[in-house]
Structure 1
Amino acid sequence: MLGILPVGLLGLVAISLSPVSVLAQSSGRNKTLNVPFPDAPADADNVVKDNFLGISWELFVMNYLWGETPDTLSPALQNYLANIRSRMSNPLRIRIGGNSMDGSTYVANQTNMITLTDPDAYYNDVPCDFGPMIFDVLNAMADKIGSMQHILGLSMRNPKDPEILESIMHLAYDAETKLGDSLDSLLLGNEPDLYAGHGERDAYEISDYIPEIATMIDDLSNSEWGNLTERDILGGPTVCCGWDLDEVLNAGLKDFRYKYYTIQHYPTHVCGGVSEKSSNISYYLAHPNTPTFLQWNDAGIEIAKQKSVDMLLTEYNSASCGGDPSVAPTFASALWAVDSALQGAALNFTGMYLHTRELGVLYNLFDPAEASSGVEGALGEGWRTGAVYYAELVMAEVLGSGRGSVVVDLDLNGSRTNWEATVAGYGIYDLESEDGDGGDGGDGGQKKTKSKLALFNFDYPREALGESVGDEGKAQTFVIPANLTERVAYRILKGDNITTTGDQVTWAGQSADGLGRLQGEQELDVLECEGGCEVKVPGPGMVVVWFDVGDVDGEGGGDGFGNIFVGNATVAGLYESKTSEGVRIGSVSGRWVIGLVGLPFAFR
C-alpha cells in the first residue's frame, strides 16, 4: 500500500542555500578539522543495505504496542514505522524474540494474539501463549507502511518435551505459510549460554547444545508439513555472554546450513540495579569504545566471513535489563546508537537491531501514554519518543542508495584510539549499479563512489564549568577539501546537551509528536563546495553530508535530491486525504521551501 502525504499536514522542507564556495574564516573559538575521504575504501567486502538498522521486540508486548487485531493497529506505531520505512528501498527489519519468545508457547488454535500465563513472572522473562493473530497483525502493518522482513525465535529451552516440540514445529509452519517471503529467518534459541545460569537447564554447555541443534534441524526438515528448512532460513546461536561465537561454530554449528550467524550484546547491564559503570554517560561519548564493543566476537565474525554467512546483531541498546536512567533516555544514547550501527556496518555485520520492550523501559524507542489504560492506550495519542528512535531515521538516510553501500571509519583525529578526541567520522561509498550485485555482504566487484559522510561531535557544555547550552566553543567545524564535490547538502541530529531526552531531540529539524508524526520543517542545508566548504556541527550533535547534490531549487529542471529523502510519511491519524496536487516551490525569507502537498510516494 502506498503512503499518502495528507493535505492537512504540510511536510515542508526548508532548504538553506549558500553561494559561498571558498572556505570561510574560522572563528578562533571554533575547532576545525580537515576530513579526508579516500577515493576508494581500503576494505570493500561488506556491502550493507539501507535497512541495516532494524527493531527488536519482546514478544509479550506485541499486542500492546502493535494492536490486538489487523483492525486495531496502533496509529502511532504505524507512523513511527512508516517514518523509518519510507526512507528505505528495502524491507524494514523486524525481530520478534527475546527471553519472552524463548519461554512462550505457540497455540495454533488461539484466537487472540497474546495471553500472559504467569502473573508473577520475572520482568526480564515474561512467558505467554500466542496465536496466529500475530502474523495477521504483522501483515496488516506491512500493508499500511510498506514491506517488512521478519526474524522469529524458536525456543530451545526444552525441545525434548513432545508438546513443546509440536508447538515449535507448528510455529515454524504457520510463520512460513502466513508470512511467506517476508519471513527472513527462524532463530534457534535465545541466549543459550545463559540457560544454566538462569536455571532453565542444568549444567548446559556447548557440548549439550550442538546435538540438540542437530536434532531440531532434523525435526524441522522432516516435520508433518514437510521440509520446513528447504530454503535458507535458519539463524543462531544468538549468544550474548558466556559462549564465544567461534567456540560454538567450531564445535559443530558451522557444519549446519545457516542463513545467519547471530549474536546480541550490550555494553553493560542493570539486571541487579544501576551501578557506577551503567551510569557512566561518558562511555557512550568516547568513540574508541565503539569498535571494542562490536569486536568482542571478532574470531567468530571472521569465520562467518570465510563461510559467506551473514552476521546479525539481533539485539543491542545502552544497557541490558532496561537501561540506566542516567543514560538510556538521553541524546548521548542516540549518538552512541548511530555510532555503533555505523561501526557495525564497517565491521562485517549485515544488520543490527535496537531492542525495545514494555511500557516504561528506559531505553525504549517509543512508549504508549498510559500503563493503566491497557491495550487501548496504544490506540490513542500521547506516545513518548525515546532519543534512540532517531537513530533509525538517521541510519536509513545515511545508507540510502537502493544498491548497497560500504562504510569506512575514517579515524578522524585518531578517534578510534585517541581518548581525547571528541569527533568521529565515517565515509559511505555507494555501489554505482546493480550489475554484478553480490547481495547482502558481497559487492560483486562493483565500483564504489564517495557519496556521504557521517560526522560526530561528542563535545558538550559542562554546566558545572559555567558552560551554557549553545556554547559556540563546543561546535566542531569539519572542512571538506576542494575539488571533491561541486555541492553538498547536510542534515543535523541534535539535542541541547547530552542529557537531553527524546522530546527535545531533532533530526533535520523535526521531532515526533504523540502520534508518531514528524513535526516541523524538514531541513536540508546546501553548500557550494567546489572550492571546499565547512560544515559546522553543534556540540553535541552529528551530521550526514550528501555529495554531488544536484539542482535543488528547480531552476535546472530537476529536483536535485537524488537519494535524499524528502517528504512526509504520516499514514495514520487525523489526516486522510488522498489528493495529489504535486510540488509547490517558493522562496520564503531567503530560504527555499519545498512543500509536498498531498504528494503520494512509493516505498522504494
Structure 2
Amino acid sequence: MVLPKYGVGLLSLAGAALAQVTIYGQTPLAQTKTDGSWAAMTTLAAYNDTFLTPPAAPNPAASNNFAIQLTKDAAQVEGISIAHNGPSFYGFSIEMSVITQILGKNSSYLQVPFLNLMANIQERAGGVYVRLGGNTQEFATMVEEGDSRLSPGHTFGKEISGSTQTTLTPAVLYTRDMFYIANNISSLVNVKWFLGIPFNDSVNWRIGIAEEGQQILGTNLVGLQAANEPDFYVTFGRRTAPYTPADYSREIGELIDYMGKSPKITNTKMLIGPSVSGQNDNWHAQDVFATGFLDDYADYLVAITVEHYPNNNCIAMYSPAGTPGAVVPQDVLPDYLNHGKVTDLAGSYTQDANTAVKYNKPFIMFEMNTASCGGFPGISDTFTSTLWALDYGLQMAFQNTTHALLHVGGQNVYYNPFTAPPTNQSAYNEWTIGPIFYSALVIAEAFGKSNTAQIVDRYANEGSANTPAYAIYENGVLSKAALFNYIDDDTGNNDLTVALTVDGGVPSSVSVKYLLAPSINEKRNITWAGQTFGEKFKVDGRLRGDLNVTNIPCDATNNVCRIPVPSPGFALVFFSSSDEQLTISQAPHTFATTAYSKAHNTVQYDPAVVATSNGHNAGLLAQKLGSTSPGALKNGASAGLVSVALTAVVLSFGGAVWTVLSS
C-alpha cells in the first residue's frame, strides 16, 4: 500500500464500518429539449437534454427472424482475431486539464466515484488502462509545490499556452503530487497508467514526467506517449512547415538519446507512438512506418498507437453561430446506428493493427470517442453512443486492435463516460454517468478475464446494418454471442428473434444479459442486466438494482437457441452456465463515503488562467473552473474569482484510511 504523499485530513478510522453515501438534493439547471432540429444550448453540454429524431423503423419490418450458424472450435473459424489479453479492452483517456475533477484534488483527496467506476471494470476484466494526457500534455510543465502560479494545496494549475489549435489548449502546470495521485489510486484499484512526454519543444526536452513517473509509479506506469497527433503540428503551430513523418521519426531518436542521459530514467524502452490522427489529408501511421520508424525503434516501443474520431463538432463549438460547415447532428445520427459505418471505420486501421501484430506489439486506439471537439448533442450523450461504442469496440477487437481509450473532458463536452459535477455544486450533487460508459462495462464482461478472448464478426442477417452479431471465444471454445438491434421502434414490430445453432449441438439452455433503454434517445434510463448507475447528479460509481440474468431454454433436438433482442437493445448470450461473468454485478470491493464536515475552501482561481482543452475556448476563460470545453455555467458563473467548495469524506478500505472528495 502506497501512503498518500500528504497526510492532511487523514483520520484514524481503520476498520470502521463504512456509511452509505449521502446524496444531497439537486438544483436543476435550465435545459433545452428539442425534437429533431438542434436548438441553442442553455446549459452545460454534459447535462444537455437535446433529443434527435431516430431513423425511421423499417416498414414493413425488416427480417427480424434469422439464424446464425456458430462454430464451437475457434481453430476452425476463418478470420478470427488474435487472443486479447491484459486489462479491459476499453480504458480511458483523461485530459490533463481535468485531472483535479476526475482523480482528486491531490494525493490525499481522491474521487470516490472514479474509484468505484474503475473497480467495476476491474471486477469484470481484472484491470483498466488510463491515460493522463491529450492536447494539454504537449505544453505541460512540472513545477515545485508552492509555486506562485498554483493555489495553496493544489497539484494543478493552468496558463495560456499560445496554442493555435481548435481547442485553444492551455499549458498545464503540475507538481510531483500528480504521480502520487495516480499511484495511490493504483494501490486501491488495478489501474495502469500512460503518461505523455511534452513534444512542443524538441530542442529543450522536458522529460520530468518520464523521470518522476518511473520513480514514483514504478510498474504502474506502462507507457510514455512520444507526441500527441504530430500530424497536426504544423496546423497547430508547434512546428514550422514542412514537418514530415521523417522529421517526427528523427525527433523520436533524439528523445531516446536525451532520455538515456538521465540517471532518473531507468527504462528508455517504454515509448508509444506514432499517435497520428490520420484525419483528412494528414499523415497516416503507414507514412511514419515507411520512414523506418519500426525497424529503428521497435525495441523502444511498448505499443503502436493511433488516435481517431469518426467526426468532429469543432465549427459548432468554436465558431460564431451560423458559420458555414458545421456538422448537423441530426444529419449524421444514422451513421452511428449503422454497422456498415462501424466496419468501415475500424477497417481503416486494419493494416496498422496487422503491422503491430507483425512486430509483436499491441495496437491501441489511444484516444477516441464519438466526435472530436466534444461530440454531438443527441448522439454522444444518448443510448446511440452506447450501442455504437459497443459495436465499434467489438469490431476493432475483431480487426486486431488490442485496446481503445475513451476520451474524458469536463462538463462542457457531450461525450464523457463520466462527469464530475460543477465545482460550485459538489456539496449537493454527485457525478453523472455518460451512456458510453456502459459499453466499457459490457465489453469487459464479453471478453472476461481469461486473457484468451477471440472475436469474429458473423455478418448476421445477410450483413444487415441494423442487426450485427459477433461470436466470442475463450480458451479456443465458443463462449458467448453478442447480438445487436439498432432499430428504434416501441411497437415491437422490429424486435428480433435470433436462432443460434452450434456445430456439435447447443446446450440445454443459455443465459442472457441485456443492455436496454426505451429509445436510442435515452440518456439516463439505461440498464445492464437490470442494473443502472443512476440519474444525472446522482451517481457514486456503484451499480443499483438487482442483477437480472435471463435463462432461455434451447431446443436441443433441433439444435437451436432462439434469443429475443428488443428494438433497440443488445444481448450477450452465455453458452456456459458456469461462466463467472454471469454472477458479476456490483463489484464487492468498492468505496462508500460519508461526509464528516462540509466547509467552503477559500482557494481561489483567477478566471484569466482557467482554460481547458480538447474542447474549451480561451475566450470563455472566466466562466467556469473544471471544464474542458467551451460554454459556461450560466447560474453561478462569475467574472470575479471563482471559489471552490469541497466536501471532505473518509474512506476505509483494506485496513487503510483515506480522505477523499465526495462530489
Q: Aligned in 2, Cα 1:488/1:7: closer, same or farther, shift over 3 Å?
A: farther
1:397 match: 445
1:188-267 map, 5 Å: 188-203=226-241, 204-225=243-264, 227-229=266-268, 232-240=269-277, 241=279, 242-254=282-294, 255-256=296-297, 257=299, 258-267=301-310
Q: Aligned in 2, Cα 1:299/1:278: closer, same or farther, shift over 3 Å?
A: farther
1:564 aligns to 2:579 (yes or no): no
Cα distance, 1:188 vs structure 2? 0.2
- Asked if structure 1 preserves the Cα contact closer than 8 Å seen for 2:305 and 2:363, the reply is yes
Rounded Cα–Cα distance in structure 2 between residues aligned with 1:4 and 1:457? 47
> Residue 118 of structure 1 is aligned with which of 151, 160, 176?
160
- Asked if structure 1 preserves the Cα contact closer than 8 Å seen for 2:112 and 2:593, the reply is no
- Asked if structure 2 preserves the Cα contact closer than 8 Å seen for 1:30 and 1:472, the reply is no
- Asked if structure 2 preserves the Cα contact closer than 8 Å seen for 1:172 and 1:228, the reply is no
Which amino acid in the other structure matches residue 220 of structure 1?
Answer: M
1:288-299 map, 5 Å: 288-299=340-351
1:414-563 map, 5 Å: 414-415=462-463, 418=464, 421-431=465-475, 448-461=476-489, 469=490, 471-481=491-501, 483-501=505-523, 503-513=524-534, 514=538, 515-529=540-554, 531=556, 532-549=560-577, 560-563=578-581
Rounded Cα–Cα distance in structure 1 between residues aligned with 2:430 and 2:202? 42
> Residue 83 of structure 2 is aligned with which of 44, 47, 50?
47
Rounded Cα–Cα distance in structure 1 between residues aligned with 2:168 and 2:448? 35
Q: Aligned in 2, Cα 1:297/1:533: closer, same or farther, shift over 3 Å?
A: closer
Rounded Cα–Cα distance in structure 2 between residues aligned with 1:567 and 1:499? 25
Q: Which has the higher mean CA deviation after the structures are superposed, 271-280 or 250-259?
A: 271-280
Rounded Cα–Cα distance in structure 2 between residues aligned with 1:222 and 1:294? 39
CA deviation map 1:515-549 (0-9, x unaligned): 22211111111123252322111111111111121
**SS of equivalent to 1:284:** helix
- Asked if structure 1 preserves the Cα contact closer than 8 Å seen for 2:81 and 2:455, the reply is no
1:67 aligns to 2:108 (yes or no): no
- Asked if structure 2 preserves the Cα contact closer than 8 Å seen for 1:30 and 1:477, the reply is no
Q: Aligned in 2, Cα 1:206/1:454: closer, same or farther, shift over 3 Å?
A: same
CA deviation map 1:69-104 (0-9, x unaligned): 233211222222222222122x21111111011221
Q: Aligned in 2, Cα 1:277/1:75: closer, same or farther, shift over 3 Å?
A: closer
Which amino acid in the other structure matches residue 140 of structure 1?
Answer: N
Which of 1 and 2 has higher RCO (CA within 8 Å, sep 6+)? 1
1:267-278 map, 5 Å: 267-273=310-316, 274-276=326-328
**SS of equivalent to 1:481:** strand
CA RMSD of aligned residues (A): 2.7
- Asked if structure 2 preserves the Cα contact closer than 8 Å seen for 1:235 and 1:261, the reply is yes
Rounded Cα–Cα distance in structure 1 between residues aligned with 2:459 and 2:17? 40
TM-score (norm 2): 0.72
- Asked if structure 2 preserves the Cα contact closer than 8 Å seen for 1:245 and 1:299, the reply is no
**SS of equivalent to 2:435:** coil
Rounded Cα–Cα distance in structure 2 between residues aligned with 1:67 and 1:407? 36
- Asked if structure 1 preserves the Cα contact closer than 8 Å seen for 2:417 and 2:435, the reply is yes
- Asked if structure 2 preserves the Cα contact closer than 8 Å seen for 1:30 and 1:475, the reply is no
- Asked if structure 1 preserves the Cα contact closer than 8 Å seen for 2:186 and 2:192, the reply is no
1:102 match: 138
Rounded Cα–Cα distance in structure 1 between residues aligned with 2:84 and 2:315? 36
Which amino acid in the other structure matches residue 455 of structure 2?
Answer: V
- Asked if structure 2 preserves the Cα contact closer than 8 Å seen for 1:185 and 1:235, the reply is yes
- Percent identical among aligned pairs is 26
**SS of equivalent to 2:351:** helix
1:77 match: 114
Q: Aligned in 2, Cα 1:221/1:52: closer, same or farther, shift over 3 Å?
A: same
Which amino acid in the other structure matches residue 573 of structure 1?
Answer: A
Count residues in correspondence. 507
Cα distance, 1:565 vs structure 2? 4.3
1:148 aligns to 2:196 (yes or no): no
TM-score (norm 1): 0.79
Cα distance, 1:53 vs structure 2? 0.9
- Asked if structure 2 preserves the Cα contact closer than 8 Å seen for 1:53 and 1:341, the reply is yes
Which amino acid in the other structure matches residue 491 of structure 1?
Answer: K
Rounded Cα–Cα distance in structure 2 between residues aligned with 1:54 and 1:223? 30
